[in-house]
Structure 1
Amino acid sequence: MGKLHLQHISKSYGATKVLQDVSFHVNEGEFVTIVGPSGSGKSTLFHLIGGLIAPDSGTITLDGKNLINTRGHISYMPQNPSLFPWRTILKNVLLSSEIAGKKDAGNALELIEKAGLSGYEDAYPHQLSGGMKQRVAFIRSLNSPQSIICLDEPFSALDEFTRFEMQEWLLSIWKEYQKSILFITHNIEEALFLSDRILVLSDKPASIKKEIIIPFSRPRTEDLLLSDEFMKLKREIHNDLRS
């Protein structure tokens, strides 16, 4: 399971209206990315979905269950890996399942292996590179029982080469586990390479300006980035964000 629905969501902070009549959905096992201008309310959407704040109006459901003012129903990965420095890599990955009351390390060890981190189970975060830390943070999210993962610009701090490696790795892991993913990025190329659909937000107060269904088949390779169709869509989204 993992079908997320937001309908007619509006949110203001004082006199500032951030979101206005936002409606969209994420299907089970789908990869949906939100792009929009800085300050357009992308992170506010995650806070609403996570139950940290409540909308002024509208509904948010996951598999038909109300999410408003309720926590613990999604797995969230922020820009910073947010690993506990005093916990080993294995114990960091286990954290999400521990919170859910599960202590079986078998799945965590399997994920660590699939992340290419075998041999680092007893290492600490300061011993890992930026890309390795991001892998740990993502497999920690995968190891949680929640059916949907919200990723908030997880690769923004990485250099371009490492970032692309991480994108390829994320797709390979996601393909195997098929959890629903809602992804935020400012990087149009990243959005096109990863997603099934892209939602373009308008400037504040944000609404869904456009939905783009990505036509590229999977698996996706680096050659796609230079194709005519890819470049055309990239220009189209760039113009949508500027207009």
Structure 2
Amino acid sequence: MGQLTLEHVSKSYGQNHVLEDITLTVDEGEFVSIVGPSGSGKSTIFQLIGGLFPPDSGTISLDGTVLNNRRGHISYMPQSPALFPWRTVVQNVELSAEISGLKPDTQKTLELIRSAGLAGYEDAYPSELSGGMKQRVSFIRSLNAPQSIICLDEPFSALDEFTRLEMQTWLLSIWETYRKSILFITHNIDEALFLSDRIVILSDKPAIVKKEITVPFERPRSEELLLSEPFLTLKKEIYTNLRS
């Protein structure tokens, strides 16, 4: 299972009104991206889903269980890989299971590491990995968590354009194998279109859902899609919505 629902969620910090009546869903096995202007409250949505703060109003639920102000129900991948430098690749991947109080499944861990193209690096430390390799370890650590939904907060923003595209293609191949529900934050329209089933466009704060777009492109997706006419047309529509 893994259906996430936000219903009429609002949030302010003092006089700073960040979110206004946000309603969105991520269905089981779906990949949904959130795009919006800088400071529009995208990361605040993740903080509320993760239970770091309660919403002022509205309900956040996962498979019908209310998550308001409750932690431990999602897996989260931040912008930086956040790997422990004193732990090996295997130990970093197994951390998500350990935190949940589960005994790590070493066979599954090694399978995930191989699927990430990191065979031979099982006992390497983060200082021995490139930026893209660290991001792969961070993502498969999220996949290894028992939670059914993963929240990804601009995980590729620090990578160069070609490494970023390589990581996007890899992420899709892994996601299509394991099919966990994903909610993805990005400023990059190309990235949102290439990865997502649906895109939620936020306004400037206080953020409302301006528009929701169903991405029509079939899977699996290839890099050639990025320069196709339908892709560029939809990119222009999203850009216009963000600018208006």
Residues in 1 aligned to 2:15 and 2:114: alpha-carbon distance in whole angstroms: 50
Could you tell me which residue of structure 1 aligns to residue 146 of structure 2? 145
Could you tell me which residue of structure 2 aligns to residue 161 of structure 1? 162
Identity of aligned residues (%): 72
The offset of 1:235, in angstroms, is: 0.7
Aligned partner of residue 172 in structure 1, secondary structure? helix
Could you tell me which residue of structure 2 aligns to residue 75 of structure 1? 75
Residues in 1 aligned to 2:116 and 2:224: alpha-carbon distance in whole angstroms: 23
Q: How does 1:59-138 map to 2 (within 5 A)?
A: 59-100=59-100, 101-138=102-139
Could you tell me which residue of structure 1 aligns to residue 46 of structure 2? 46
Residues in 2 aligned to 1:235 and 1:126: alpha-carbon distance in whole angstroms: 40
The offset of 1:16, in angstroms, is: 1.2
Aligned partner of residue 90 in structure 2, secondary structure? helix
Correspondence 1:17 to 2:6: no
Residues in 2 aligned to 1:103 and 1:154: alpha-carbon distance in whole angstroms: 24
The offset of 1:98, in angstroms, is: 1.1
Residues in 2 aligned to 1:164 and 1:146: alpha-carbon distance in whole angstroms: 27
Amino acid at match of 1:99: I
Residues in 2 aligned to 1:16 and 1:166: alpha-carbon distance in whole angstroms: 35
Aligned partner of residue 12 in structure 1, secondary structure? strand
Deviations 1:180-204 (A, max 9, x none): 0000000000000000000000000
The offset of 1:124, in angstroms, is: 0.2
The offset of 1:224, in angstroms, is: 0.5
- Structure 1 runs not aligned, ≥5 long: none
Could you tell me which residue of structure 2 aligns to residue 30 of structure 1? 30
Aligned partner of residue 204 in structure 2, secondary structure? coil
Deviations 1:28-49 (A, max 9, x none): 0000000000000000000000
Moved over 4 A (4+): none
The offset of 1:168, in angstroms, is: 0.3
After superposing the two structures, state which structure 1 stretch, 203-212 or 95-104, moved more.
95-104
The offset of 1:18, in angstroms, is: 0.2
- Structure 2 runs not aligned, ≥5 long: none
After superposing the two structures, state which structure 1 stretch, 93-102 or 210-219, moved more.
93-102
